[in-house]
């Protein structure tokens, strides 16, 4: 389908592929981008053929932030009554695995969008930052929270208070980035990783994602209890029987998502 204004949505086998496509604004995230991303996610969530989703931007920018020109005229009441940015929670609620494939600028809302995704694969050209303080605001799509959990207080404070950018090596060292690849291999690598994930049992991948995300929301003891219960429950599904039988038979597993 190509009938979105600000994104492209493709299906590459079992991989859903969303390309942010507002090149004149370096993919700044306005309300139309949000509407389009939500509509695409809604489609991909119910599409039984789709096992993983990649979100990417352009070579120059994954996304240079929320749209400053859209926000500039707004009042406190506009922001409050709209619950501005709250709808980005849709991405965090998306249950299938997501990969951000980042080249160029991932600033402000762009960095936040990438951090909501499950894996972050970055080109060697990627630059990350939360420069909101330079605009007289703070991160608003989770940056002060997800960045701090991802890279710790020392670096999160450095980025959020100075507004400086981090290059990709620093971002990987800090734990923000899953893998760094040469820019010309970014999309192929992201597709390969997404295909690998999509070749697993989808319900198991969804449950694995949910379990890792629990680590950010609860205590270690509760998280371990959650993991143990869910681990036991997997012995009720067909893909566990198939996966273990295939190992014993020395053949590749054929998962049926059951």
Shortest Cβ distance from residue 86 to ligand CAA (Å)? 12
Minimum CB separation from ligand CAA for residue 5, in Å? Answer: 16
Contact mark string toward ligand CAA, 87..106, x via CB under 6 A: ------------------x-
**Minimum gap (Å) between residue 25 Cβ and ligand CAA:** 4
Member of 7, 9, 20, 25 binding ligand CAA (CB under 6 A): 25
> Shortest approach of ligand CAA to residue 7 CB, angstroms?
16
Closest CA to 59 of 107, 21, 4: 21
Residues 117-146 interacting with ligand CAA (rule: CB under 6 A):
131-132, 135, 139-141, 143
The answer to whether 112 and 141 have CB atoms below 8 angstroms apart is yes
Q: Which residue has the tokens 């990649």?
A: 54
Catalytic residue list: 66, 109, 112, 132
Q: How many residues bind ligand CAA (CB under 6 A)?
A: 21
Q: DSSP class of residue 108? A: T
Residue 203 burial (C-beta neighbours within 10 Å; 0-12, 13-18, 19+): middle
Calculate helix-pair angle for 220-233, 202-214, nearest 10 degrees.
170
113 lines the binding site for ligand CAA (CB under 6 A) = no
Instruction: Please name the residues in contact with 23: beta carbons below 8 A apart, sequence gap of 6 or more.
Output: 58, 60
Measured between alpha carbons, how far is residue 127 from residues 14, 37, 83, 150, 180 in Å? 29, 22, 28, 16, 12
**Binding to ligand CAA in span 27-56, by CB under 6 A:** 28
Do 220 and 212 contact (CB within 8 A), yes or no? Answer: no
Q: Which stretch binds ligand CAA (CB under 6 A): 22-30, 48-56, 171-179, 194-202?
A: 22-30
CA distance readout (Å), 222 to 118, 164, 211, 216, 219: 21, 36, 11, 11, 5
Rounded-to-integer distance, Cα 46 and Cα 160, Å? 37
SS3 208: helix
* CB nearer ligand CAA, residue 79 or residue 212: 79
Q: Which of 69, 153, 232, 251 binds ligand CAA (CB under 6 A)?
A: 69
CB of residue 119 vs ligand CAA: minimum separation in angstroms? Answer: 21
User: Exactly one of 68, 183, 215, 234 binds ligand CAA (CB under 6 A); which one?
Assistant: 68
Is residue 38 within 8 Å of 82, Cβ to Cβ?
no
Per-residue x/- mask for ligand CAA, residues 141 to 180, rule CB under 6 A?
x-x-------------------------------------
The contact set with ligand CAA (CB under 6 A) reads: 25-26, 28, 64-69, 105, 107-109, 112, 131-132, 135, 139-141, 143
């Amino acid at each position: 389908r190509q009938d979105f204004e600000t994104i492209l949505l493709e299906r590459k086998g079992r991989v859903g592929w969303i390309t942010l496509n507002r090149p004149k604004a370096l993919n700044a995230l306005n309300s139309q981008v949000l509407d389009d991303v939500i509509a695409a996610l809604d489609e991909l969530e119910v599409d039984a053929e789709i096992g993983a989703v990649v979100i990417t931007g352009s070579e120059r920018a994954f996304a240079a932030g929320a749209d400053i020109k859209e926000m500039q005229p707004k009042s406190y009441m506009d922001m409050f009554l709209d619950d501005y940015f709250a709808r980005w929670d849709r991405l965090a609620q998306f249950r299938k695995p997501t990969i951000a494939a980042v080249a160029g600028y991932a600033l402000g809302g762009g960095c936040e969008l990438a951090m909501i995704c499950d894996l972050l694969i970055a080109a060697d050209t990627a630059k990350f930052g939360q420069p909101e303080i330079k605009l007289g605001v703070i991160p608003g799509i989770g940056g002060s929270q997800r960045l701090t959990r991802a890279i710790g207080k020392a670096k999160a404070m450095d980025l959020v208070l100075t507004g400086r950018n981090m290059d990709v090596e620093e971002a990987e060292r800090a734990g923000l980035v899953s893998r760094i690849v040469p820019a010309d291999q970014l999309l192929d690598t992201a597709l390969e990783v997404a295909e690998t994930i999509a070749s697993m049992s989808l319900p198991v991948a969804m449950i694995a994602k949910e379990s890792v995300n629990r680590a950010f929301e609860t205590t270690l003891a509760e998280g371990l209890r959650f993991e143990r219960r869910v681990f036991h429950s997997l012995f009720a599904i067909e893909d566990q029987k198939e996966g273990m039988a295939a190992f014993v038979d020395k053949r590749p597993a054929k998962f049926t998502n059951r």
